[in-house]
Structure 1
Amino acid sequence: MTDLSQKDYKKIIQRRDPRYDGRFYFGVKTTHIYCRPVCPARPKPENIVIFKSASEAEKAGYRPCKRCHPDLAPGSKLLEGTTVSVGRALRLIDEAITASSDEELSVQTLAEKLGMSDRHLRRLFEEHLGASPIEIITTKKLHFARLLVMETQSPLAEIALAAGFKSVRRFNEAFKEFYSLAPSDLRKEHAEKIPKDQIILHLAIRAPYDWTSLMAFLGRHETYGLEEVHPDYFLRYIPHGKGYGTLKVSYEARQSKLKLELTNIPLIMVRSLISSLKSLFDIEHNPNDLPKSKALNANGIRIPGAFDNYETAVSIILGQLVSTVQAKAKMKELVLKYGKKISKKADPKDVYLFPTPALLKEARLEELGMTRHKANAIRELSRLVESTEIVISKTSDLEETRKKLLAIKGIGPWTVEMIAMRCMGDTNAYPKKDLIIARAIESGLAQEEEWSSSKAYLTHILWREYGKSLLKTSLK
């Protein structure tokens, strides 16, 4: 965003340009409220002040707008102007604060993971986000805490812990400092709307959102015993302690929100589950970031991510050179033979834990009827994941991980690109040799050069729009 002038920013705000939603915020000097650039508010240009992040706005004493909810809005995959290091640092922060750990993420630890000094990291954050790493971390914790305060009846002490604060006192102080009111006062404002005896949360998304195609894809790749995919909802079984809970996700189109219903799930697990859902449902994507193509209509397309990266990577290997029906059936066989059943006989559904890398690295997978190459690929991937020689994560180095995956016998370019796309968040991952993609490009249905940095979205558009017809045709 560094190439934009103050005049440019104000024009963007005036026209409520959705392309810039999540990339910057603006405050109003007279009210000390900050908003998203798509907010309906119409402040006088001379009263507008620009902020690079929500953290910078809140550090300056500005409070989130109650109309556009900048603190509860989805983030942005495309932070124009930020360096690769800052983008990776933000992903590392998200990963650290969603982990159920008593260990605080320090600036020094973050800098070491990025291979730089903590002084240089602080400078980069101030330059590109207008806030320090610690301020960004605190802001993310408070935004999550505010969501729980507003939408659940969970005790505030539990919310403080679930949000990552080490003491209720520190939580209350930080909350009051940022929002100018105590958590208990905010809860009173929303008490009538809060459901009793259950956790129901809402995550904002940017319209348009093609829920139908997303659910159809997830349904074709459903993991038996761990999830259920229906046209109207997605259900995931969540193991904890000696039992399990359920996480149900549905789409509220009118409000542009995903509704989360959590049953028998400890509050301390919620933050990590939301992080997984953001990946699975591609929540932070801005549809306006995609090319304006006359030939192709993006129409709310999303990239189905992964709830569990290892599980999804195994399913992708099983899907090599076979139909989705065959791959789904083989995944069921794998879960039944090597997974651990955690549901009781009286339960209406069979619920399983997905087999661990330690188990699959030694498994005789050929007994399930899969080829030796495919079985070896799963075993070797499992060995490398267990030893952490390969880490399948959005914080991992994409090119280095690609090379390591491609070095596994039985894993080819298509599989590597699908893992990069679904498990590592690479928006430019491109399974170019996929039959449908190859036929679409050969037929002139899309121009690859128009989709620089977003070929993963091009892939899903072509699958959605032309999948069935191109499977029935032959290249001439």
Structure 2
Amino acid sequence: MVQERQPIALDKAACYAALKAHDARFDGHFFVGVSSTGIYCRPICRVKLPKEKNCTFFPSAPAAEAAGYRPCRRCRPELAPGWSFADNTLHIARKAAAIMEENCLADMKIADLAAMLGVTDRHLRRAFFNQFGVSPVQYLQTRRLLLAKCLLADTELSVTKVALYAGFGSIRRFNDLFKKYYRSAPGTFRNAKKAMTENQETITLTLGYRPPYAWDELIEFFADRAIPGVELVKGGTYSRTVSIRNGNGLYCGWLSVANKPKMNSLSVTMCCSLLPVLPKILATIRKLFDLNCDPIEIYDKLSVLNELTPDICVPGLRLPGCFDPFEISVRAILGQQITVKAARTLAMRFAHAFGRTIVTPFEELRYTFPAAETIFNLERPIENRLGSLGIIGARARSIFALAEAIETGSLRFTSSAEPETELEKLLKLPGFGPWTVQYIGMRAFSWPDAFPHTDYGVKKALAHLAEKEILDKSQAWKPWRSYATLNLWNSLKAGQKTKREASGK
């Protein structure tokens, strides 16, 4: 059986050195179990350094728990960043893990997951064990337990609701697993101070990342493109409305995300109406803010950009994802050959015309972005419905073709989809040229190797190179060309800022 094999080997000396230095760059890459306490920690944990002979290193939190260790209450392993979608090693296992984290497999079995990924049960188990040191079932069980532990510590939700939102079908099973793996009842993980101050209409959770994190560049990117009425960037905090369909249910609400740089984490506040889809919300936020990124690996690869322009490569730069693939794809269509500001205006009209009106604590947030289903069901011809918004006929037809492809299932924006395959399908839709498709690859699929080489900003940043030379040069930036594109775009802003400062403006 796969479970009888030994998990992947880690360099014990290197892991202990990282643990001794509390090196945040390795957060989430390994966990340490301490035999003298029976507890496992993240490498950033600030407890007294254990003796090396008492340490066992694991490739994942589930592997540590499968070995009998309990999670540390101080460093909280459930907050550790995960693995980047871009990592090439055991791609299938990481895609499967991403799907698990989105919905805790509430309506799916492991066999269904393997079929979705186009592999056999046995192949998935083998790949999973090689990557994480445990079976898919063990991994899923630990993810549920850690999410429940996070909810118990950070909210005042009842134990029954915690079990439900963390993906447990039975409260009895939930209690039994806590006692078995954590040797405590769920209630012992309560934070008394949090319970006394938590607003029952909202919850606030924490998601970790690996430093450095170029938050200012990321939040500025979102601010420049925020859709009025749907998104808001204010005081360094990103807020937005949310509309998510899960099964037969539609869940609407709002959320806000702020940076906590001293803790290398983001603080996520959301209304409780979104709790039934909590795993999906958290997984989407991780993609939106690129929390699983390994910034050191990317910077090491892209530092060659500095040969083109000094200091063009920014350490910790993140790839801005999206909350809704249809939303960002419509934005890409609307942004063809016009300014970012003009595209925002069109997107605002689109959302106000076809989105749902909801109530939020923010005066500026009142509309959800319409779903593909809503646009697909509009009365034809589509040009008549969108033309009054200032959207020209060609782009109206592109938006409808996109909605139709999503609704008929010919185009998939799911964690199981292969970006390159889906982008090839997009190219066949009317009005989808290379720039639009590559931009959607960057934002909707969080694909790290998208490269819109025909983009005006890319060409301007590399003005001394011809188009073919730009493509040839980009081969050295693989598989991180999306990040290279962001660095090129940001270099233009940096140049403009330098000119303004020099002129005293």
Same structural fold, with TM-score higher than 0.5 when normalized by the shorter chain: yes
Partner residue of 1:32 out of 35, 38, 44 = 38
User: Per-residue deviation at 1:375?
Assistant: 2.0
Q: Distance in 2 between matches of 1:374 and 1:258?
A: 36
- Whole-angstrom CA distance in 2 between matches of 1:341 and 1:328: 19
Query: 2:53 is matched with which residue: 46, 57, 64?
Result: 46
Structure 1 residues 383 and 196: alpha-carbon distance in aligned structure 2, compared to 1, 3 A threshold: closer
User: What is residue 438 of structure 1 aligned with on the other side?
Assistant: 459
How far off is 1:265 after superposition?
A: 2.5
Aligned with 2:29 (options 23, 32, 46)? 23
Contact 1:239–1:353 (Cα < 8 Å) also in 2: yes
Report the equivalent of 2:4: none
Counterpart position of 1:355: 370
Given that residues 151 and 193 in structure 1 are in contact (C-alpha distance below 8 angstroms), is that contact kept between their aligned partners in structure 2? no
Aligned-pair Cα RMSD in Å: 3.1
Look up the SS of the partner of 1:466 in the other structure: helix
Q: Distance in 1 between matches of 2:207 and 2:163?
A: 20
**Counterpart mapping for 1:58-137 below 5 A:** 58-77=65-84, 82-97=89-104, 103=107, 105-137=108-140
| Conserved? CA contact 2:31–2:40, under 8 Å | yes
**Stretch moving more, 180-189 or 316-325:** 180-189
- What is the deviation of 1:224? 3.0
Partner of 2:64: 57
How far apart, in 2, do the equivalents of 1:376 and 1:192 lie?
A: 51
Match for 2:416: what amino acid?
A: T
SS at match of 2:190: helix
Q: Are 1:286 and 2:302 counterparts?
A: no
Per the alignment, residue 179 of structure 1 pairs with: 182
Q: Secondary structure at the match of 1:453?
A: coil
Question: What letter matches 1:165 in structure 2?
Answer: F
Pairwise CA distance, 1:173: 1.2
Q: Does 1:226 align with 2:230?
A: yes
One-letter code aligned to 2:491? E
- The Cα offsets for residues 379-415 of structure 1, whole Å up to 9 and x where unpaired, read as 1111101111101133211121011001112111111
1:396 aligned residue: 417
- Unaligned stretches of 5+ in structure 1? none
For 1:312, the equivalent position in structure 2 comes to: 328
Distance 1:348 1:80 in 2: 41
Closer, same or farther in 2 for the Cα pair 1:2/1:458, shift >3 Å? farther
CA distance in 2, matches of 1:78, 1:272: 16
Query: What corresponds to 1:366 in structure 2?
Result: 387
1:272 is matched with 280
Post-superposition CA distance 1:310-366 (Å, at most 9, x none): 11111111111111001001111212333343459x995562232332342443233
Quickly say closer, same or farther: Cα 1:254–1:314, change in 2 above 3 A: same
Aligned residues: 467
Separation in 2, partners of 1:242, 1:57: 37
Tell me the secondary structure at the aligned position of residue 441 of structure 2: helix
Instruction: Tell me, yes or no, if the aligned pair for 1:73 and 1:205 is still in contact at 8 Å.
Output: yes
Alpha-carbon shift at residue 226 of structure 1 (Å): 2.1
CA–CA distance in structure 1, aligned partners of residues 338 and 87 of structure 2 = 39
Q: Take 1:260 and 1:4, find their aligned partners in 2: how far apart are those partners?
A: 33
Give 1:233 shift: 1.4
The question of 1:456 aligning with 2:482 is answered: yes
Query: 330-339 or 239-248: which moved more?
Result: 239-248
Opposite residue 356 of structure 1, the aligned amino acid is: A
TM-score where L is the length of structure 2: 0.83
Q: Report the Cα offset of residue 426 of structure 1.
A: 0.8
Residue 21 (structure 1) shift: 2.9
The match for 2:152 among 146, 149, 152 is 149
Distance between the aligned counterparts of 1:255 and 1:194, measured in 2?
21
Which residue type is aligned with residue 338 of structure 1? F
Q: Name the counterpart of 1:408.
A: 429
Structure 1 position 202, deviation (Å)? 2.0
Classify the secondary structure of the residue corresponding to 2:89. Answer: coil
CA contact (8 A) 1:150 1:194 kept: no
Name the SS for the 1:353 alignment partner.
coil
